[in-house]
Chains A and B, each alone.
Chain A
Amino acid sequence: MESGLSGAANRNAATVRVGLPYHLRNLAHVEGDVLLEVGAAVTLRAVLDALETRYPMLRGTIREYETGKRRAFLRFFVCAEDWSLESPDKPLPEAVATGKEPLLILGAIAGG
């Protein structure tokens, strides 16, 4: 298991925290939040691209392969706000871009 900064050091990159749901943490073999280096523009798309690059076993589990869209039963929460329906290219808040607050990926509250 691991949880830590991934990829080569990049002075221009932001370190973003991502909270994954239980099953995706298991798939990625991580505990706790994932720390990712993301390029200058910190958007949902950029964070998810970085996440899937570092943890390719998550490809297709958050965004659908065919369309790249968020899977229907997943939600994105940012700074206590629901970002699920926001544009993937909208810049995330400064608190997320600086790693103070995580991007939370959650499963819709349904199941059994």
Chain B
Amino acid sequence: MSNVRVLVGTRKGAFILNSDGKRKDWTVSGPFFAGWEIYHMKGSPVDPDRIYVSQTSGWFGQLIQRSDDGGRSWHQPGLPNEAIPAPGPPKALPNKFVYDASPETGKPLTTHQWYDGTQHPWEFKRVWHIEPSLNDANTVYAGVEDAALFRSTDGGENWIELSGLRGHGTGPQWQPGAGGMGLHTIILDPTDPQRIYIAISAAGAFRTNDGGATWKPINKGLRSQFIPDPNAEVGHCVHHVAMHRSRPDVLFMQKHWDVMRTDDAGENWREVSGNLPTDFGFAIDVHAHEPETIYVVPIKSDSEHFPLGGKLRVYRSRTGGNEWEPLAKGLPEKDCYVNVLRDAMAVDTLDDCGVYFGTTGGQVYASADAGDSWAPIVRDLPAVLSVEVQTLN
């Protein structure tokens, strides 16, 4: 029987939740890296015991942690915990994220737009999202704030910026969202290793067809009132994007406001908010086996980041958008004023697709029946920043 491992990043550490395929009884491990912000943790599809973690702190900066045994032990890649280092320069610098401004492979460091419209220097702050390669356990991508994409091909020991994105030329028009100017979404095309989608708040979505050397903004059809030209090429506050691996040309987006869809790899987007009670939100995901079934968690507004009326609801569309149904069974009916952040929803790949999400109130909810009913796995973790799920055979 398959097992499920849920990787939860929180404001104060990481947790791992384990269950068998019934997904009724759970064990909770952690906190790992207690006291640190864990923006994201994700396992390799190639080697599920290989888990990468973004560990960050306002005091101590950015660290990368790795497990090679499914989360039982951790180390910074290339840096054994106890060993005395060999003499000479270190070969592994797993925490070094330096923008590539070199003449050979880099792009000059520019400025980006600040909240008040002035230009602001590009400064590294943290890794928001880690995306392991689909076919090599040692290759992994990192989306960072201020927005850029890095890649490691040695298991996280060293990172190199794919500078073509930051150097796309529109950087001075990018601006931070409320949480910073983070590259938060990385989607690898399972049919074409050269094609990658990314999204930045608030710049928009971009696509590369050449493995990251060059990038194209793919924001046609997005409309955002908070920028001078609502239909601008860049500047949109994309909150998250999701794809079903069987249809890499079809993407679903939760924008700041609006739920959007593209059927042509981002060339054109159309709104599919339909009958949602509010189309503001952060998280969005796709059913593991039904590529037209998608999930969002509507949030009241950009001024009030909590569910409408204090009732926590996931909304599901079985028609690829426009027609939505509330999923409430097992979720709080009143007095619930949490948020569900952009990377805090995930699905498993069991026959009865499981859906999971975490809240800023520290709850992690699971549904073992594609959203029809929900139950909390845990209720009192620190604020949840990210949720990823591994289906283990």
A interface, over-half SS: loop
Q: How far is the CB of B264 from chain A (nearest CB, A)?
A: 40
Q: Which residues of B contact A111 (CB under 8 A)?
A: 58-59
- A98 interface contact, C-beta 8 A: no
Q: How far is the CB of B10 from chain A (nearest CB, A)?
A: 14
- B225 interface contact, C-beta 8 A: no
Is B76's CB under 8 angstroms from A57's CB?
yes
- B46 interface contact, C-beta 8 A: no
Partner among A6, A24, A73 whose Cβ is within 8 Å of the Cβ of B58: A73
Partner among B60, B85, B95 whose Cβ is within 8 Å of the Cβ of A24: B60
Type the 1/0 row for B78-107, where 1 means its CB is closer than 8 Å to any CB of A.
010110110000101101111000000000
Q: Cα distance A22–B34 when bound, in Å?
A: 11
- A93 interface contact, C-beta 8 A: no
Is B61's CB under 8 angstroms from A54's CB?
no
Residue of A nearest to B89 (CB): A53
Is A6's CB under 8 angstroms from B84's CB?
yes
Partner among A2, A62, A66, A108 whose Cβ is within 8 Å of the Cβ of B124: A66
Is A23's CB under 8 angstroms from B59's CB?
yes
Is B57's CB under 8 angstroms from A59's CB?
no
Is A29's CB under 8 angstroms from B82's CB?
yes
Is B98's CB under 8 angstroms from A23's CB?
no
- B36 interface contact, C-beta 8 A: yes
Q: Cα distance A111–B84 when bound, in Å?
A: 33
- B180 interface contact, C-beta 8 A: no
Residue of A nearest to B93 (CB): A59
Q: Which residues of B contact A6 (CB under 8 A)?
A: 84
Is A23's CB under 8 angstroms from B57's CB?
yes
Residue of A nearest to B87 (CB): A53
Q: Which residues of B contact A66 (CB under 8 A)?
A: 98, 124
Q: Which residues of B contact A65 (CB under 8 A)?
A: 93, 95-98
Partner among A54, A60, A74 whose Cβ is within 8 Å of the Cβ of B84: A54
Type the 1/0 row for B176-198, where 1 means its CB is closer than 8 Å to any CB of A.
00000000000000000000000
- A3 interface contact, C-beta 8 A: no
Q: Which residues of B contact A107 (CB under 8 A)?
A: 59-60
| Given A23-B35, A56-B79, CB of A64 within 8 Å of CB of B85 | no
Is B63's CB under 8 angstroms from A27's CB?
yes
Is B61's CB under 8 angstroms from A60's CB?
yes
CB neighbors of A among B39-67 (8 A): 57-63
Q: How far is the CB of A110 from chain B (nearest CB, A)?
A: 8
Q: Which residues of B contact A7 (CB under 8 A)?
A: 84
Q: Cα distance A106–B256 when bound, in Å?
A: 39
- A71 interface contact, C-beta 8 A: yes
Q: Cα distance A60–B97 when bound, in Å?
A: 10
Q: Which residues of A contact B81 (CB under 8 A)?
A: 29, 57
Q: Which residues of A contact B98 (CB under 8 A)?
A: 65-66
Q: Which residues of B contact A56 (CB under 8 A)?
A: 79, 85, 90, 92
Max count, chain B CB within 10 A of own CB: residue among A22, A29, A57:
A57
Q: Which residues of A contact B90 (CB under 8 A)?
A: 56, 59
Q: How far is the CB of B162 from chain A (nearest CB, A)?
A: 18
Is B59's CB under 8 angstroms from A73's CB?
yes
Max count, chain B CB within 10 A of own CB: residue among A21, A61, A107, A108:
A61
Partner among B59, B82, B95, B124 whose Cβ is within 8 Å of the Cβ of A59: B95
Is A71's CB under 8 angstroms from B61's CB?
yes
Q: Which residues of A contact B61 (CB under 8 A)?
A: 60-61, 64, 71
Q: How far is the CB of A68 from chain B (nearest CB, A)?
A: 12
Q: Cα distance A66–B62 when bound, in Å?
A: 13
Q: Cα distance A22–B90 when bound, in Å?
A: 25
Q: Cα distance A108–B124 when bound, in Å?
A: 20
Residue of B nearest to A52 (CB): B90
Q: Supply 21 A–B pairs (Cβ within 8 Å), ascending by A.
A: A2-B82, A21-B59, A23-B36, A23-B60, A24-B60, A27-B60, A29-B81, A56-B79, A56-B85, A56-B92, A59-B93, A59-B95, A60-B95, A61-B61, A61-B95, A65-B95, A65-B97, A65-B98, A66-B98, A111-B58, A111-B59
16 extra interchain contacts, Cβ-Cβ under 8 A, other than A21-B59, A62-B60, A111-B58?
A2-B82, A6-B84, A7-B84, A23-B36, A23-B60, A24-B60, A29-B82, A54-B85, A56-B79, A56-B90, A57-B79, A61-B95, A71-B60, A73-B59, A107-B59, A107-B60
Q: Which 7 residue pairs across A and B have the least CB separation, nearest first? A: A61-B60, A60-B95, A73-B59, A107-B59, A65-B96, A57-B79, A57-B76
